[in-house]
Amino acid sequence: MKISILIPVKDFDIIALVHNMKDGMAKVPEFCEILIGDDGSSEEYRKKYQALAGDNVRIISSEKNIGRASIRNRLILESIGDYLLFIDADTMIRGTAESFLLKWLDYVRSGRVIFGGVLYQDTPPGDPDKFLRWKYGREKEQQKASERNKHPYTSFSTFNVLIDKSIFSKFRFYEELKQYGHEDTLFSYQLKKAGIGVLHIDNGLVHEGIETNKDYLAKTKSSIENLSKLYDNVTDKKAFESTVRLLHHFWLLKFFHLTRLFAGLFIRYRERMEIRLDSSKVSLRLFRFYKMSMFCVYREIHRRRKLLPIFNIPPDII
């Protein structure tokens, strides 16, 4: 059995991460290679990645930014492993790389898709301009496997996941999703439709690349827009709803005819909410309302404009 480590990256320093993984691979020979997917990085970072090549480290480069799905699909095609360990570039190992890699071997025969989890630093960042992303990650994303396994598809992410390579003979990451947001949701939905289970274990990596409040709010906007577009196009809406917590709450609002009210509140109070969210006194309750009311706005926009022909997804994908 061979396992490839795949790291998609754009303009992020992964030197320490790669060296740590190489040290671990020397003691855990089942991990046979590291593939770095350089997705249109600047010349400065491209040189850093090229300097890492050799000793079972390969660089797969794209001259321009082709997107998270496309670079992952290229890494899949180039890999030689029977299993593929996807890890995000902005991660840090808590403990030793050897123990991190060995733990995957304990579970590799237990499931075809195994998510290790995401961790955050115990103390808040020194810069209050990053409180929103840290607090949301600590309270919503950092969960023990016992909790994640209760809703395995909802808690899925490609942040730190081991996947049987044969799965990709059925489907790939959907490359038409160019902007940030809910790429993993669509893949999780595909897994559920195909009857492929997701197993969660406690083998987390620390998320180090925390965005500023403004950047995270901008990413939130693009992800909510993607979610609304995806919802218009999936064939099995009930299965899709079960992979996204926000959609459960949306349908409660729709049942009680409150979606237009929430959309109106977002339009009226958006600036005030963003000012409050871009502060050291972050309210996750307000953030949930912000996302929910924004989604109601996009549902109105997409319903009126009938975006279905603009965002076509082939039937075999969905």
Are the C-beta atoms of 115 and 199 separated by less than 8 Å? yes
Domain 3-210 falls under CATH 3.20.20.70: no
| Tokens of residue 91, six digits | 């991660």
Does the pLDDT value for residue 309 go beyond 50? no
- Predicted confidence band at 302 (pLDDT cuts at 50, 70, 90)? confident
Segment 160-197, tens digit of pLDDT: 999 999 999 988 888 877 667 788 899 999 999 999 99
**239-296 residue pLDDT tens:** 898 889 899 899 999 999 999 999 999 999 999 999 999 988 899 999 999 999 999 9
The single-letter code of the amino acid at 165 is K
Instruction: Output the pLDDT for position 312.
Output: 42
Do residues 101 and 5 touch, judged by C-beta distance below 8 A? no
- CB within 8 Å of 60: residues ≥ 6 apart: 35, 36, 37, 38, 71, 74, 75, 78
> What's the Rg (C-alpha) of the chain?
20
Min mean pLDDT across 103-112, 172-181, 196-205 is at 172-181
Kindly list the domain boundaries of the chain, sorted by start residue: 3-210, 218-311
The span from the CA of 241 to the CA of 84, in Å, is 27
pTM of the model: 0.91
